[in-house]
Amino acid sequence: MFLESIAGDAREIYIVGDLFDCWIEYRKVVPKGYFNLLSSLNKIVESGIKINFLSGNHDFWLNNYLRDEVGLKIFYEPIELTLDGKRFYIAHGDGFSKGDTGYKVIKKILRSRVNQFLYSLIHPDIGIAIAQASSRRSRYHTDDIPLSAAEGMKNYAANKIKEGYDFVIMGHYHKPSKVEIVNESRTGYFVTLGDWIVNNSYGMYIKGNFDLKFWSIT
């Protein structure tokens, strides 16, 4: 299994959102399924490796379960860090691509604490079923968007590189790529991690280099 294969070498793991097709967490109810995945993540945490989880547009409705029961460190906003003198800006990426104006409005509505409370009054069997149906439609849309739709994300990354970041890493866009960007005599890299359904892609940072990798069970 992939997680078991990296647990021996990883110093720290970052999950850049959309780990779940749909995660909507009630105060005392979480979605059915994911036991093997959550168990594997917990074993890694228990071994001493920190797992950082940045919420995405499919799994932003989080309470305390993943933090308290699984042991993940939860982030709702982009992560900024420095490793070996290299500056990283890590974001899920939703709301950055072209044509996402409507989504930005929907994002604010969906992430409103008031609206989430009102939604939580719906019985979990119904509320989670509605959310899962909406999530499937959203994923089909994200899978089919053309390469040009990532230009907004790339422009955002270019501005971050101009600010001094060496690597800007995003999820959301399901096509893995690593693009060199030269901005005012600064060189940095914009990386989209892809997905785990079609590409089995992930990123690995080792000694100043960040590369895309592709997992194969064969």
Mean pLDDT of 160-175: 92
Helix, strand, coil % (nearest 5) of the chain? 35, 25, 40
- Checking if the pLDDT of 184 tops 60, the result is yes
Q: What is the DSSP letter of 29?
A: -
**Total Cβ atoms within 10 A of residue 185:** 5
Ranges of H-type helices in 111-150: 113-120, 124-144
Cβ atoms of residues 127 and 119 within 8 Å:
yes
- Residue 201's H or E segment, with its range, is strand 201-206
Percent of the chain with pLDDT over 70: 83
**Domain ranges in the chain?**
2-214
Give per-residue pLDDT as tens, 66-123. 999 999 999 999 999 999 999 999 999 887 766 566 555 566 666 667 777 777 778 8
Amino acid at 32: K
pTM for the model stands at 0.83
2-214 domain in CATH 3.60.21.10? yes
The span from the CA of 44 to the CA of 7, in Å, is 6
Cβ atoms of residues 26 and 127 within 8 Å:
yes
Residue 105's pLDDT is 57
Both tokens of 185, joined, read 């005599």
Higher-pLDDT residue of 98 and 207 is: 207
Give per-residue pLDDT as tens, 111-160. 667 777 777 778 877 877 777 776 666 655 555 555 555 788 888 999 99
Distance linking the first and last C-alpha atoms of the chain: 11
Residue 123's pLDDT is 81
Both tokens of 151, joined, read 């230009």
Residue 75's pLDDT is 94
Cβ atoms of residues 86 and 73 within 8 Å:
no
3-state secondary structure of 34: coil
The span from the CA of 80 to the CA of 109, in Å, is 26
The span from the CA of 28 to the CA of 41, in Å, is 21
The span from the CA of 107 to the CA of 50, in Å, is 28
Residue 160's pLDDT is 94
Ranges of H-type helices in 8-79: 35-46, 65
The span from the CA of 77 to the CA of 37, in Å, is 24
The span from the CA of 109 to the CA of 125, in Å, is 22
- Checking if the pLDDT of 41 tops 70, the result is yes
Window from 21-35, 141-155, 179-193, 204-218 with minimum mean pLDDT: 141-155
3-state secondary structure of 160: helix
Average pLDDT, the chain: 83
